[in-house]
Structure 1
Amino acid sequence: MPRSYAGLDFGTTNSTLALCAPGGAPRLLAVEAEHLTIPSALFFSLEDGQTYFGRRAVFEYVDGAEGRFMRALKSILGSSLMRETTQVGRQRMSFEALIGRFLAHLRETLERETDEPVDRIVLGRPVRFVDESEAADREAAEQLASAARAQGFRHVEFQFEPVAAALYFESGMNAEQVALVVDIGGGTSDFSILRLGPDRARLPDRSGDILGTTGVHVGGTDFDRLLNIARMQPLLGLGSATADGKRSMPVWYFNDLATWHRINTLYTPKVLADIRALGKEAAEPEKLKRMEHVLSHRSGHRLAGAVEKAKIALTREDAAAIVLREPGLALEAPVTRGEFEAATAELVERIGGAIEAALRLAGLEAEAVQTVILTGGGAQVPAVAQAATARFPGARVALSDAFGSVGLGLGLDAARRFA
């Protein structure tokens, strides 16, 4: 059998692996039991000393096992946190090492499938890891490459995630066209205007077919964060005042509690003491008591998971409820799709602005776009899909595999690069 080559889509929320032989069709690997996706999550158990990944990591944490839960690590790339360490059990680990631990788990999955060492990989990357700094964006890419090389991937190549999604879509085309790829991931959104076609698919270098590409640091976890801040954090004290009416509660505790990759930083004796002190001054001390419970029981990710569940429900329904119930705490907040869209309107506006920027970079009017390819879990949010397609009323809208198209395209790209 011809050798197959691997692509890895390391996502903020979920990750996939794909293999492809030269000239063949890519396929996603089962990365967790029969599942073709794995949540990008780790749980370091203090009970048995093991590291759990994916759904098992989420289960161990939600089940109340003692340990450290980490998720959305991709969001940290290029940030100041990458230069810090964090306590994991009895040791302190760098965030690059934590990312490497997850990549090593996926490399083991690859090698079980191929039955041979795998040292070449094409990694997906967003168009922009970091919006505001070219240097930080370059640093983020190098940090991810370094984490991969440390785990045995000696030859690391990158492909833009929206380009990868287009490569997979292109494999089924029978005529050349101009397409916009809208890839709304867990932590970033990317927009690429590409020239695609069956003849172009055979070209070794596709750089000339990338007409314009932009990206913003907006993704599914940002929608979670703003919904959390709007509906759940007020139940914990956000926006409430001191008993004398002179001050409001500091907002940063609540902002961090609503941000996936910041939640763990709140689980310190100092922060817990701060919240207890604020509760003594608060006009609504019962709210700060709930916040104290969340911190002392490390319930932040469970709360974030409840918010994410409601967000997903709102892609199908007009109303949902955010519910977190555990011993000593009962939180519930109804939310309508309209309220969700109002809370996240600034994110949708930034997505629309990035699409306009991609058109300008490509030097095209909207009418030139013949197909809009939607991929990524965030593209299923109705307001996002509307913002992505409204400018192109005459274009075909293609809903690709929400979680697998990037990985499949990376597999195709690996076969072309490494064969």
Structure 2
Amino acid sequence: MLTSDQACDRAADIVSRAKTAGADAADAVFAADASLDVSVRLGLLEDVGRSESEELGLRVFVGRRSASVSTTDLSADALATLVDRAVAMAREAPEDRWAGLAPADRLMHGAPPLLDLDDREEADPASLKAMALEAEDAARGVAGVTNSEGAGASASRSVWALATSHGFTGSFSATAYSVSASVLAGDVARGMARDYAHHATRHRRHLDPPADIGRLAGERVVARVNPGRAPSGALPVVFDPRIAASLVGHLSGAIAGQSIARRTSFLLDALGQRVFAQGVTIRDDPHRPHGLRSRPFDGEGLPVSPVALVEDGMLETWLLDSASARQLGLEPTGHAARGIGGSPGVSPSNLYMEAGAIPPATLIEDIATGIYVTELIGQGVNPVTGDYSRGAAGFLIERGALTTPVAEFTIAGNLRDMFLNLTPANDLAFRYGTNAPTLRIEGMMVAGG
């Protein structure tokens, strides 16, 4: 695979070609990836896969007109054709007064932060197979597990580079490792249940032991066998950390610059107002060492830094790329996210809700009847109104304790009300790109099956 410096050279070269071909401005992204995946089932090797890719994306501007193209063919002839096509397309595109590169005076300069995203290790199929087998063996060893959907282990390394025609060139490399297991429990008479466990990290040494991952998958599925019906009515609902993070994700979508500029967000007029309960703080930290979404700069070459999106319940900022910032008359916030094709969008990095002050057991000990949710089903969230309705599964809470499993019920509310009636527990753990502790929300509507 190319080095970070070589990736920078590839991106900078295509930008230079675009300027020579008549573009007024341009930026380019180069991405290379190599990955190895191994899967097993019932103790036998099922598949070994290896993939390698190199892609180049170019965006050009002719005045306020722009066009984007991408390719996996990096030969000299193909790149020459790509540049000519992009410039010709831009000349025919409609004008967009908000389009353009990031402000030159805001670009990141100097040494990037040290994020330690690449552990420089090389994985091999044999070691990944051993990890997958260990995870599946542990999952199948849990009493009550009746079948396996398999286990897997993977390793990858990627290099990403960005170059612009107005003074920025930067790149970084990252590794990623994961182990997962998925198993079944129950029978035809009682109903089959399925659950899983998964862990992903930047450094291999930070992975949980495969046996722990498998054992957790087994314990989760056995607990879900023979579910009952959930009660109906307005009840306290407690979200397991696995799915609590989805609520934080709904916040980031609602404060994205494009949603605000288009007036399609349920938080449209909420900047500077209370949107969460007092004491709730939500942060975005692109500088987290080994973070799954850490990055030294954003998708337009702007510096990034930790920021509170919500501080003590108050909404502090939008997430803005340059185009949405211009449209709103504001400054970009360093949250531009760039794929290979198209214009930048916005995305947080390592997004998380800070831990609260009380343990999960204390969070539920005063609930006479409620629901503990471990799985959400469907996509019933309206980003314009905030209306929320999701299928769910989990456990009944009775007299302050988790009791029987329940499934095939619906939870509903409105995200503005849910945010204001939310209480976080103290069990925050950084396992995903977006993280949250156990969350309790008062008065959600539950419709039992």
Q: Whose relative contact order is higher, 1 or 2, with alpha carbons under 8 Å and at least 6 apart?
A: 1
Say yes or no: TM over 0.5.
no
Q: TM-score normalized by structure 1? A: 0.25
Q: TM-score normalized by structure 2? A: 0.24
Q: Which has the higher helix share?
A: 1
